[in-house]
Amino acid sequence: MTDRFIEVSLDKRGVSCTAKLLDDRAPITCDAVWDALPLGGDVYHAKYARNEIYALVEPFAPEEPPLENPTITPIPGDLCYFTFSDTQLGTASYGYEHGAKHRGRATVVDLALFYERNNLLINGDAGWVPGIVWGSVVDGLDRMADACQDLWRAGALGETLSFRRA
């Protein structure tokens, strides 16, 4: 199979990076994401996982992917896929506004980019939260990490995280 690449962007900030899909390690997830592109939505910066930005999107796979190529310790450049129920993301401690677009959906897909070291996928309410590593940034992580730090400090309102074929 030919390598597949996507562009991951913070649209308002005009910053993007290129990631290679990990078809050999997470083929079901990669196919599901690839077939659904473009994807994206409001960007959030993680509270618990540390150096992570993500968008919450509607489910798009015919069936949710199995936990292939799982991790609880993502490294810089990892793209991860998570599935949550609305109630898992419903507590006020997560910081989602009352009118957040994912509210009321039975299933919510979280597409995440980890941009720096020392991440640990543990949640105070639920415990370990393994994710599927389905892509790895191969170009532009330094620029994206700077933009993610700015997002952390300056705020995420009005910013979107997008995934599209490169």
Please write the tens of the pLDDT for every residue from 84-130: 887 777 666 565 656 666 666 778 999 999 999 999 999 877 889 99
Q: What one-letter code names the amino acid at 30?
A: C
Q: Which two tokens stand for residue 21?
A: 């899909």
How would you classify the pairing of strands 127-128 and 5-10? Answer: unpaired
Q: What one-letter code names the amino acid at 159?
A: E
For residues 108 and 54, what is the distance between their CA atoms, to the nearest angstrom? 12
Task: Give strand ranges (E) for the chain.
Answer: 5-10, 15-21, 39-45, 52-57, 70-71, 78-85, 107-114, 122-123, 127-128, 131-139, 160-165
pTM of the model: 0.93
Predicted local distance difference test score (pLDDT) of residue 49 = 85
Predicted local distance difference test score (pLDDT) of residue 123 = 83
- DSSP secondary structure letter of residue 64: P
Predicted local distance difference test score (pLDDT) of residue 90 = 65
For residues 9 and 12, what is the distance between their CA atoms, to the nearest angstrom? 9
pLDDT < 70 regions, the chain: 90-104
Predicted local distance difference test score (pLDDT) of residue 142 = 98
